Amino acid sequence: MLYPIDTPTRTTKDLSGIWRFKVDDEKGDFTPDQVLTDSLSLAVPASFNDQVSIDAIRNHVGYFWYQTDFQLPHLIAAERKVLRFGSATHEAWVYLNGQEIGHHKGGFTPFEMDITDIAVAGNNRLTVRLSNMLDHTTLPVGNYSETTDAHGRLVRQVDENFDFYNYAGIHRPVILYTTHKHYIDDIAINPQLNEDFSKAQINIAVKTHQLDQHQVLIELFDEEDQLVASGDLNEALVIENPQLWQPMKAYLYTAKVSLKDGSDILDSYSEPFGIRSVEVKEGKFLINGKPFYFKGFGKHEDTHIHGRGLDNAANVLDIQLMKRIGANSIRTSHYPYSEEMMRLCDREGIVVIDETTGVGIMESFNFDVSILEDGNFNDATFTSLDTTAAHEQVIRELITRDKNHACVVMWSIANEAATYSPGALEYFTPLFELARELDPQKRPLTLIHIMMSNPQTDLVSSLVDVICLNRYYGWYVSHGDLDTAEAQTRGELLAWQEKYPEKPIMYTEYGADTVAGLHSMEAAPFTEEFQEDYYAMNHRVFDEFDNFVGEQLWNFADFATKIGINRVQGNKKGIFTRDRQPKMTVRSISERWNHIPNFD
Ligand code: GCB
């Protein structure tokens, strides 16, 4: 599925704006062919939650109606018309002019519907029924329950099995685009560099909906718009002395694909791509043959008012701030980020570990690893949860969507699953196989380990290319005691290194909740001084390990979560506040990262 853009043969119409919105009372008195009355005005794309001032709506669990009207000119009557959602969280039923045209489950990936036969010239009414419910079959995983209130009414509840607020809504743009009836469906680009990088063969697979006599022409352009290679699908496209896509120094070529009937161009599409190699070898993570060091963040798509909705300005600022403090990478914790962000990371040279929605796959939760050590631990995660189908779907949709991005150097199949539990290896093996098979570029694969999964307890690390650890020594474990935490950090890293000497190791989370403006002479937890000391301790240990290939701290910025006794108006582990003001530790992290080169 291609990102919707204008080309000489395609037009797009962005349906962003103010839509009508209403909680579905489930009485069945609204049908999608009707005008949604008594509704609120709500911005799309954005989460609905923080746009409303009524708690009962903000926190409602169940179904919601969205509706808008749009006009189509007669001019495009003969064109094929497609309606595409960047994402709708978490499940959507879509109706056009009263007729159901599609359904999609999974809140962080795009889906589209051919509406050629249903859209009309003039006014069209688009209605969406949305659900924000999560359960033991969905990703992310939610604990779903039902009760009745004092009036006997059904009350649904979702207790998130993860640590971010369950924002919902139409989070990404809704675009109507047109194509010719014979069209380009998908493009997969797989650049292969030769040994000394003096040549790149650009392997391109194109999926079309076409007649036999039609031809596909491919033209490759450099950043100055100069044609550097061209040919049809059977010809080898080679770029001599290619400019490489490099971390923080991006270079993007464009593949212009045309579907032709004789000299007529029926469809054309331009896809940016970068040329770079990625490889894991002898304990190193190589980009373009050189050992790369990840410096950066686990993030969230989370901003004031927009919630988890697309916020291009925030994305731009975040990358600017990252550059200023010497960061070079992010992980899309804990779900696929917007296509707009992925394109921006390509353009800006930000290295991305691209994560699925595989979060919350854990029945029991405890940071006390000792409960695993007597050998009798039995957690029912892989018998009681039923997430395999959702997991396969999100892997498929993520890799299909992001396969051409130069910025993506590794896929993360899950965050903090119960990888110490019986059944973990059996659950993950086919998912890793699926990801390896789907990715034309065969990027490295990982999953992200929770603290309970250590070299003694972990059952799945034989599958991963890089050992990625979320570690909170000094915070959730040995809270406030950084001397003990330092010894524990060192001890565990040594044990991983001994067990998997060939696998690179990196931290994908480490952090301490810090309330901006809170200070103390004795560097007590929650103060800005403690956060700084905590990072200094970790960094001392990291620097002792040769096969330690990166530090992505938790989190770039403070973010919204459900309420809980560990959360002071959200998670405060950001090194920036939620409105992107620096905490004290930003200075020392910036000092460190600006002195660590991107490559060893
Ligand atoms: C984790 C999770 C992340 C949480 C973080 C925390 O291990 O991966 O989603 O927000 O810990 O702050 O507790």
Among the three residues 111, 145, 179, which one is the final residue of a domain in this structure? 179
Among the three residues 127, 157, 179, which one is the final residue of a domain in this structure? 179
Question: 367 pLDDT band (50/70/90 cuts)?
Answer: low
Strands of 317-358, DSSP E:
329-331, 351-355
Q: Is the CB of 513 under 6 A from ligand 1?
A: no
Taking only the tens place, the pLDDT of each residue in 491-507 is: 999 999 999 999 999 99
Among the three residues 161, 179, 197, which one is the final residue of a domain in this structure? 179
Output the CA 155–ligand 1 centroid distance in Å. Answer: 28
Query: Could you tell me if residue 58 is inside a domain?
Result: yes
Ligand 1 atom 2, closest CA: 163
pLDDT at 378: 75
Same domain? 259 vs 400: no
Of the candidates 563, 568, 592, the one whose C-alpha atom is nearest the C-alpha of residue 514 is 568
Query: Could you tell me if residue 598 is inside a domain?
Result: no
Lowest pLDDT segment from 455-459, 483-487, 583-587: 455-459
Q: Is the CB of 578 under 6 A from ligand 1?
A: no
Lowest pLDDT segment from 178-187, 205-214, 538-547: 205-214
Q: 90 with 106: CB under 8 angstroms?
A: yes
pLDDT at 279: 98
Q: Is the CB of 558 under 6 A from ligand 1?
A: no
Is residue 509 among the annotated active site residues?
A: yes
Same domain? 469 vs 567: yes
Same domain? 26 vs 132: yes
Interface predicted TM-score (ipTM) of this complex, two decimals = 0.99
pLDDT at 248: 97
pLDDT, mean of residues 384-392: 97
Taking only the tens place, the pLDDT of each residue in 132-162 is: 999 999 999 999 999 999 999 999 999 999 9
Same domain? 244 vs 392: no
Same domain? 193 vs 130: no
Query: Could you tell me if residue 103 is inside a domain?
Result: yes
Domain that residue 261 falls in: 183-273
Output the CA 569–ligand 1 centroid distance in Å. Answer: 15
Question: 214 pLDDT band (50/70/90 cuts)?
Answer: confident
pLDDT, mean of residues 325-347: 98
Number of domains in the chain: 3
Same domain? 491 vs 569: yes
Please state, for a pLDDT cut of 90, what percent of the chain lies above it: 94
Q: Is the CB of 302 under 6 A from ligand 1?
A: no
Same domain? 535 vs 556: yes
Q: Does a cis peptide bond (omega within 30 degrees of 0) precede residue 140?
A: yes
Instruction: Please say if the pLDDT value at position 239 is more than 90.
Output: yes
Taking only the tens place, the pLDDT of each residue in 538-578 is: 999 999 999 999 999 999 999 999 999 999 999 999 999 99
Query: Could you tell me if residue 43 is inside a domain?
Result: yes
Query: Could you tell me if residue 505 is inside a domain?
Result: yes
What atom of ligand 1 comes closest to residue 450's alpha carbon?
A: 7
pLDDT at 560: 98
Q: Is the CB of 471 under 6 A from ligand 1?
A: no
pTM of the model: 0.98
Same domain? 171 vs 199: no
Ligand 1 atom 5, closest CA: 163
Which residue among 554, 555, 556 is best mutated to probe the pocket of ligand 1, counting the most ligand atoms within 8 A of its Cβ? 554
What atom of ligand 1 comes closest to residue 571's alpha carbon?
A: 12
Same domain? 267 vs 197: yes
Strands of 471-545, DSSP E:
505-509
Q: How many CB atoms lie within 10 A of CB 149?
A: 8
The 8-class DSSP code of residue 338 comes to P
Same domain? 193 vs 167: no
Q: Is the CB of 508 under 6 A from ligand 1?
A: no
- What tokens were used for 579? 């409105």
CATH for 515:
3.20.20.80
Which residue among 163, 471, 477, 558 is best mutated to probe the pocket of ligand 1, counting the most ligand atoms within 8 A of its Cβ? 163
Same domain? 381 vs 432: yes
Q: Is the CB of 573 under 6 A from ligand 1?
A: yes
Alpha carbon dihedral 550, 556, 561, 565, in 10-degree steps, equals 80
Query: Could you tell me if residue 4 is inside a domain?
Result: no
Same domain? 543 vs 394: yes
Instruction: Please say if the pLDDT value at position 373 is more than 80.
Output: no
pLDDT, mean of residues 2-26: 97
Query: Could you tell me if residue 7 is inside a domain?
Result: no
Q: 383 with 423: CB under 8 angstroms?
A: yes
Question: 324 pLDDT band (50/70/90 cuts)?
Answer: very high
Instruction: Please say if the pLDDT value at position 374 is more than 80.
Output: no
Q: Mean pLDDT across the chain, nearest whole number?
A: 96
Output the CA 163–ligand 1 centroid distance in Å. Answer: 6
CA angle at 302 for the pair 386 and 45, rounded to the nearest 5°: 90
Question: 78 pLDDT band (50/70/90 cuts)?
Answer: confident
